[in-house]
């Protein structure tokens, strides 16, 4: 099998202005009574893309998926799939299949009957159905379990039956609603990679809904971060992490330290924020910051250096404080430093050597510092 | 075409049972109401304004009369029948609760493994004929019946007790017949109750008895209410039990209605009796429906 | 709830069940009494069962009852299932309140009222009273019981199964027959059994709505009971109790077996892992 990386590296239709979008949400709004689940949302997804909708529960991501599947009709706006307007098309006429969070395996049918169900609805001749079912069982490595019923399977096996059933019809798009939510951590990690391989092999477009950022980061080509029915940012995993477009996204994905203050200077070398915590921050990229307006400097914990001595040539981007908390996690150590302003900064250190030679301990004075390009300036 | 079929099918789901209930449940009540306002006649059917379409409607409307209602209010017999029905039903409901609650509570506290069996044992008599179960008591309660034989044999009494054809017999009959209706809703609320609530109460210094009064009982209220309504409402209009166990002297409205209808053949009067009985029961029935709807919602 | 089963709890359960079952047990015992005097034990005999079988009126009534029961239970099951679906699936439609009222009211409505009102309907439209009218009347009140039984199963039914079926291309009608119905079938079957026994039991409504030639078993029993307790009636009752309890107990044992087997297989699957 080809390595995923080489294919992935060259796959970026979203940066190609001529690329034809495959799924288009245009100004889609969905209201349930007074509650607006999806709010004037526009989004394009490309063919063969592995696309993740990420957000907390109730952010509208599942509603978006259910509108694509046809279980909900948008209150306003339109949804196009491969150029076709989906309005009024019932779920059973859409070239889209869904893998349900609960798997929704038919309890009264065997594994093979479950997989054959969709094919039978299409009126496929029996020999062909049998062939396709066998192929699917092989794909998910469940050949031995064909005659079992769902309750005679373990959680991981059920998940794979659900997957086989939803791809058996070769849909244009596969929708996955929290596909790994019911699995334990270890199985989840393995399955993530299986899903990615499967998507490459079948050449399908995947739209996955998840609340687990790690899952989204691992699997997706692009991630849409959603909140209150709106999309906050759509970007590749590294972009979302390293260049979040807002404080919400920065805070939602991973951990972040935010320094707030007025922008004192904007020049070609970047921007300077006069932080409220008693030290100046110089950022290499000014972003959208404008002079005299409030801005936030966002920096990830692993990009902060901690030293017991003042770093040499210290100008901006460094300050001292008291070691407030230390958490040893094995692969890394997390240190909380309390600045004199009362703000607590989170920094992490990779434990690349065995044994701790960390000279810092609770109550010590320590210096934190970071490079000008280690974080981003945010204005909203 | 398929889509149209599906749309029609989804409408039929509502329309068919709806239409059935309108025709066989609601419209009959309107007819009862109408006939209760007509004068009785000896012909067959024994009431005058017949249903011969819209044309005769106006004509028959002029013949409407409230005589039947006046008659019912003037004759103290009916008032007594209504009153004693309500009292007998209320007393029986309380007795059923007193017997049913400990039973339901005991079942809910039983080991998990035998609970389904206990539940089935409560439901089983409900499946067996009501009439048979009432009939069974005749043989037990009559003067030379099994209960008296037993009591005489043990020497508790020296002369047979007159139980059959008294109110006591009716109470026994109602409690016995309706017990499962009381036990089931109470059991299902108690069974669902999280026992750690009791443990929490005890942990916070509440002795078991107080915990029962302050935690278990309030939480069981919905079940108790549903059980009481399930017993009270049908008991008010009960016919078989007062007829078989209560003897001729017992006055209950279900019996009165029956005899007006079958013995006196006065259909309009029987209809008026039914309408007033229905009015008496409107409030409990609405309460029951609300409880039922809420229980269904809570299940979701 | 899970805790110690106190002596008080055991006593209330035992007493409660004694009260529930003693009369039935006595009735059954005395159906085997040699003597015509029901309360005097004169030795074991099955002669009353023979007597019962020779009683033509009784046997006719039993046949009428069986036919009414099967027919009305079947229609009531269809209508009741539809009503349950309507209540569960359509949370908003015009007249829903009236509809749910009409479904729940017959559960508690005194039978004399239901019987009288149905009779007056049949008279009003000029229908001859008999087999058909009793059946219609029984359908009407028993469909509501079916609706409640089926609805309680639908509440716990996972709707995503239906969505999955539709997602895989099944139309709503196909979805109902291939996915929904097989899954709520146990409730539908117990709904049928309930409707059948309700019809089998009913005296009051049948008395109002039946006519000559359509005397049901409870009506026959009632007319004899009014004349006094006889061992022959005890025998009829014993047969009825036997039939119904065999049915109910068998159904529940089958259900329990399946449940146990299912749980065992589930555990085995998880023990196997992956």
Helix (H) / strand (E) element for C119: namely helix C111-124
Q: Which of A111, A103, A107, A119 is nearest to A146 (CA)?
A: A111
Check: CB of residue B50 under 8 Å from CB of residue B56: yes
Check: CB of residue B239 under 8 Å from CB of residue B88: no
Q: Which of B300, B283, B298, B179 is nearest to B233 (CA)?
A: B283
Task: Choose from C92, C161, C164 for mutation: most chain A CBs within 10 A.
Answer: C164
Whether the predicted pLDDT of B16 surpasses 50: yes
Asked if ipTM goes beyond 0.90, one says: no
Nearest chain A residue to C259, by CA: A151
Whether the predicted pLDDT of B54 surpasses 50: no
Residue A161, C-beta contacts closer than 8 angstroms, at least 6 positions apart: A103, A105, A111, A114, A115, A140, A142, A145, A150, A153
Do C169 and A169 lie within an 8 Å CB cutoff?
A: yes
What residues pair up with A257 in beta bridges, in sequence order? Answer: A299
3-state secondary structure C14-58: HHHHHHHHHHHHHHHHHCCECCCCCCCCCCECCHHHHHHHHCHHH
3-state secondary structure chain A: CCCHHHHHHHCCHHHCCCCCCCEEEEEEEEEECCEEEEEEEEEEECCCCEEEEECCCCCCHHHHHHHHHCCCCCCEEEEEECCEECCCCCHHHCCEEEECCCCCCCCCCCHHHHHHHHHHHCCCCHHHHHHHHHHHHHHCCCHHHCCCCHHHCCHHHHHHHHHHHHHCCCCCEEEEECCCCCCCHHHHHHHHHHHHHHHHHHCCEEEEEECCHHHHHHHCCEEEEEECCEEEEEECHHHHHHCCCCHHHHHHCCCCEEEEEEEEEEECCEEEEECCCCCEEEECCCCCCCCCCEEEEEECHHHCEEECCCCCCCCCCEEEEEEEEEEECCCEEEEEEEECCCCEEEEEEECCCCCCCCCCCCCCEEEEECCCCCCEEECC
Do A117 and C163 lie within an 8 Å CB cutoff?
A: no
Structure tokens at A257: 């330290």
Residue A250, C-beta contacts closer than 8 angstroms, at least 6 positions apart: A244, A256, A258, A298, A376, A378
Say which of B198, B258, B288 has its CB closest to residue C108: B288
Do A98 and C163 lie within an 8 Å CB cutoff?
A: yes
Say which of B116, B229, B244 has its CB closest to residue C225: B244
Q: Which of residues 190-249 of C touch B (CB under 8 A)?
A: 193-194, 197, 200-201, 203-204, 207-208, 218, 221-222, 225-226, 229, 233-234, 237, 240-241, 244-245, 248-249
Whether the predicted pLDDT of B45 surpasses 70: no
Cα-Cα end-to-end distance for chain A: 44
Check: CB of residue B35 under 8 Å from CB of residue B267: yes
Q: What is the average pLDDT score of chain C?
A: 88
Q: What's the confidence (pLDDT) of residue B55?
A: 42
Mean pLDDT of C97-115: 89
User: Which of the following CATH numbers is that of domain A255-378: 3.40.50.970, 2.40.50.140, 3.10.290.10, 1.10.10.10?
Assistant: 2.40.50.140
Say which of C89, C117, C172 has its CB closest to residue B31: C117
Q: What's the confidence (pLDDT) of residue B191?
A: 87
Q: Tell me whether A122 touches chain C (CB under 8 Å).
A: yes
Do A69 and C170 lie within an 8 Å CB cutoff?
A: no
What pLDDT tens digit does each residue of chain A (380 aa) get? 444 554 555 788 888 888 889 999 999 999 998 999 999 999 999 999 999 999 998 899 999 999 999 999 999 999 999 999 999 899 999 999 999 999 999 999 999 999 999 999 999 999 999 999 999 999 898 999 999 999 999 888 999 999 999 999 999 899 999 998 878 888 888 888 889 988 988 889 999 999 999 899 999 999 999 999 999 999 999 999 988 989 999 999 889 998 888 888 888 878 888 877 778 888 887 777 788 888 888 999 999 888 888 887 667 788 888 889 988 888 888 999 998 888 899 999 888 777 656 677 888 888 888 888 888 888 87
Chains that touch A (3 or more CB pairs under 8 A): C
Check: CB of residue A297 under 8 Å from CB of residue A338: no
Residue B112, C-beta contacts closer than 8 angstroms, at least 6 positions apart: C2
Q: What's the confidence (pLDDT) of residue B49?
A: 45
Sequence ranges of the domains in chain B? 77-265
Q: Tell me whether C260 touches chain B (CB under 8 Å).
A: no
Please tell me the distance from the alpha carbon of residue A195 to that of residue A215, in angstroms, as a whole number.
11
Do B233 and C103 lie within an 8 Å CB cutoff?
A: no
Q: Tell me whether A33 touches chain C (CB under 8 Å).
A: no
Helix (H) / strand (E) element for C192: namely helix C181-201
Distances in Å between the Cα of A118 and the Cα atoms of A167, A169, A178, A245, B9 are 10, 7, 21, 42, 22
Q: What's the confidence (pLDDT) of residue A1?
A: 41
Do C166 and A154 lie within an 8 Å CB cutoff?
A: no
pLDDT digits (tens, 9 = 90+) for B196-232: 888 888 888 888 888 888 888 998 998 999 999 999 9
Q: Which CATH superfamily is domain C54-229 in?
A: MetI-like (1.10.3720.10)
Say which DSSP state C128 is in: P
Please tell me the distance from the alpha carbon of residue B284 to that of residue A68, in angstroms, as a whole number.
47
Q: Tell me whether C130 touches chain B (CB under 8 Å).
A: no
Distances in Å between the Cα of A84 and the Cα atoms of A80, B188, C264 are 5, 52, 49
Q: How confident is the model at residue B50 (pLDDT cuts 50, 70, 90)?
A: very low
Distance, C-alpha B11 to centroid of its chain: 33
Q: Tell me whether A118 touches chain C (CB under 8 Å).
A: yes
Check: CB of residue A296 under 8 Å from CB of residue A259: yes
Say which of C83, C110, C201 has its CB closest to residue B277: C110
Do A71 and C269 lie within an 8 Å CB cutoff?
A: no
Whether the predicted pLDDT of C155 surpasses 90: no
Sequence ranges of the domains in chain A? 13-95+171-247, 255-378
User: B89 versus B114: which is more confidently predicted?
Assistant: B89
Q: Tell me whether A255 touches chain C (CB under 8 Å).
A: no
Say which of C117, C172, C229 has its CB closest to residue B9: C172
Task: Choose from C13, C216, C232, C244 for mutation: most chain B CBs within 10 A.
Answer: C13
Distances in Å between the Cα of B34 and the Cα atoms of A265, B253, C101, C120 are 90, 20, 21, 10
Q: Which CATH superfamily is domain B77-265 in?
A: MetI-like (1.10.3720.10)
Task: Choose from B25, B115, B282 for mutation: most chain C CBs within 10 A.
Answer: B25
> ∠ CA(B157), CA(B160), CA(B165), 5° rounding?
130
Cα Dmax for chain A: 77
pLDDT digits (tens, 9 = 90+) for C225-255: 887 777 888 888 888 888 888 888 888 888 8
Q: What's the confidence (pLDDT) of residue B52?
A: 45
Sequence ranges of the domains in chain C? 54-229
Q: Which CATH architecture has domain A13-95+171-247?
A: 3-Layer(aba) Sandwich (3.40)
């Amino acid at each position: 099998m080809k390595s995923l990386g080489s294919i992935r590296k060259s796959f970026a239709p979203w940066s190609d202005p001529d690329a034809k979008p495959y799924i288009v949400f245009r100004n889609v709004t969905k209201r349930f009574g007074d509650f607006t689940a999806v709010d004037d949302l526009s989004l394009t997804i490309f063919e063969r893309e592995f696309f993740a909708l990420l957000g907390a529960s109730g952010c509208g991501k599942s509603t978006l998926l259910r509108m694509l599947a046809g279980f909900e009709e948008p209150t306003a706006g339109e949804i196009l799939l491969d150029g076709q307007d989906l309005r009024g098309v019932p779920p059973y006429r859409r070239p889209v299949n869904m893998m349900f969070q609960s798997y929704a395996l038919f309890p009264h049918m065997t594994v093979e009957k479950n997989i054959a169900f969709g094919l039978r609805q299409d009126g496929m001749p029996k020999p062909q159905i049998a062939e396709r079912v066998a192929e699917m069982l092989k794909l998910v490595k469940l050949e031995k379990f064909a005659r079992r019923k769902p309750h005679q399977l373990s959680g991981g096996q059920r998940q794979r039956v659900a997957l086989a059933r939803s791809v058996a019809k070769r849909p244009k798009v596969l929708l996955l609603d929290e596909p790994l939510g019911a699995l334990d951590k270890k199985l989840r990690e393995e399955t993530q990679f299986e899903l990615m391989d499967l998507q490459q092999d079948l050449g399908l477009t995947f739209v996955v809904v998840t609340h687990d950022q790690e899952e989204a980061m691992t699997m997706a080509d692009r991630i849409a971060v959603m909140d209150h029915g709106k999309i906050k940012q759509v970007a590749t995993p590294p972009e979302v992490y390293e260049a979040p477009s807002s404080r919400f996204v920065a805070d939602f994905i991973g951990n972040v330290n935010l320094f707030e203050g007025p922008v004192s200077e904007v020049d070609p070398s970047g921007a300077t924020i006069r932080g409220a915590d008693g030290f100046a921050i110089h950022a290499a990229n000014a972003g959208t910051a404008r002079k005299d307006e409030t801005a936030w400097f966002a920096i990830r914990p692993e990009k902060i250096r901690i030293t017991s001595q003042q770093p040499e040539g210290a100008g901006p981007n460094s300050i001292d404080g008291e070691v407030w908390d230390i958490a040893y996690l094995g692969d890394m150590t997390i240190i909380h430093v309390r600045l004199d302003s009362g703000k607590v900064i989170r920094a992490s250190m990779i434990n690349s050597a065995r044994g701790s030679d960390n000279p810092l301990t609770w109550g010590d004075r320590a210096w934190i510092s970071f490079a000008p390009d280690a974080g981003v300036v945010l204005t909203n | 075409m398929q889509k149209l079929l599906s749309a029609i099918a989804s409408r039929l789901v509502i329309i068919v049972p709806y239409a059935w209930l309108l025709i066989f449940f609601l419209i009959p009540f309107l007819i009862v109401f109408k006939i209760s306002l007509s004068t009785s006649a000896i012909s067959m059917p024994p009431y005058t304004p017949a249903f011969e379409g819209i044309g005769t409607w106006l004509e028959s409307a002029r013949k409407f009369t409230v005589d039947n209602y006046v008659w019912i209010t003037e004759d103290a017999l009916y008032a007594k029948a209504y009153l004693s029905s309500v009292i007998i039903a209320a007393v029986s409901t309380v007795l059923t609760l007193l017997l049913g609650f400990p039973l339901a509570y005991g079942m809910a506290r039983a080991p998990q493994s035998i609970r389904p069996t206990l539940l089935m044992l409560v439901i089983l008599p409900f499946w067996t004929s009501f009439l048979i179960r009432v009939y069974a008591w005749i043989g037990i309660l009559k003067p030379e019946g099994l209960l008296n034989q037993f009591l005489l044999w043990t020497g508790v009494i020296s002369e047979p007790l007159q139980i059959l054809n008294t109110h006591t017999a009716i109470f026994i009959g109602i409690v016995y017949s309706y017990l499962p209706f009381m036990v089931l809703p109470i059991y299902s609320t108690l069974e669902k109750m999280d026992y750690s609530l009791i443990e929490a109460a005890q942990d916070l210094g509440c002795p078991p008895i107080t915990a029962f009064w302050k935690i278990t009982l309030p939480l069981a209220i919905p079940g108790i209410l549903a059980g009481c309504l399930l017993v009270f409402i049908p008991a008010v209009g009960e016919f078989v039990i007062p007829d078989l166990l209560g003897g001729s002297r017992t006055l209950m409205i279900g019996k009165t209605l029956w005899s007006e209808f079958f013995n006196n053949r006065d259909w309009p009067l029987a209809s008026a009796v039914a309408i007033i009985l229905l009015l008496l029961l409107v409030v409990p029935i609405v309460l029951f429906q609300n409880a039922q709807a809420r229980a269904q919602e809570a299940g979701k | 709830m899970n805790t110690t089963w106190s002596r008080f709890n055991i006593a209330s359960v035992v007493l409660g069940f004694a009260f529930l079952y003693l009369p039935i047990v006595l009735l059954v015992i005395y159906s085997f009494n040699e003597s015509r005097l029901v309360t005097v034990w004169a030795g074991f005999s099955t002669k009353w069962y023979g007597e019962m079988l020779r009683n033509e009126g009784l046997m006719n009534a039993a046949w009428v009852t069986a036919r009414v029961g099967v027919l009305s239970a079947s229609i009531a099951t269809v209508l009741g299932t539809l009503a349950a679906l309507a209540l569960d699936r359509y949370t908003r439609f015009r007249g829903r309140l009236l509809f749910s009222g009409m479904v729940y009211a017959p559960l508690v409505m005194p039978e004399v009222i239901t019987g009288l009102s149905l009779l007056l309907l049949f008279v009003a439209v000029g229908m001859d009273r008999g087999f058909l009218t009793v059946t219609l009347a029984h359908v009407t009140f028993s469909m509501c019981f079916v609706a409640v039984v089926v609805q309680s199963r639908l509440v716990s039914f996972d709707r995503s199964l239906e969505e999955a079926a539709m997602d895989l291309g099944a139309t709503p009608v196909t979805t109902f027959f291939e996915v929904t119905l097989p899954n709520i079938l146990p409730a539908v079957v117990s709904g049928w059994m309930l409707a059948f026994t309700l019809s089998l039991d009913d005296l009051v409504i049948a008395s109002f709505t039946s006519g000559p030639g359509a005397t049901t078993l409870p009506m026959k029993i009632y007319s004899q009971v009014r004349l006094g307790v006889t061992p022959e009636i005890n025998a009829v009752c014993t047969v009825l109790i036997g039939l119904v309890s065999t049915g109910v107990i068998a159904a529940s044992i089958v259900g329990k077996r399946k449940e146990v087997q299912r749980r065992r297989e589930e555990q085995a699957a998880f023990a196997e892992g992956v």
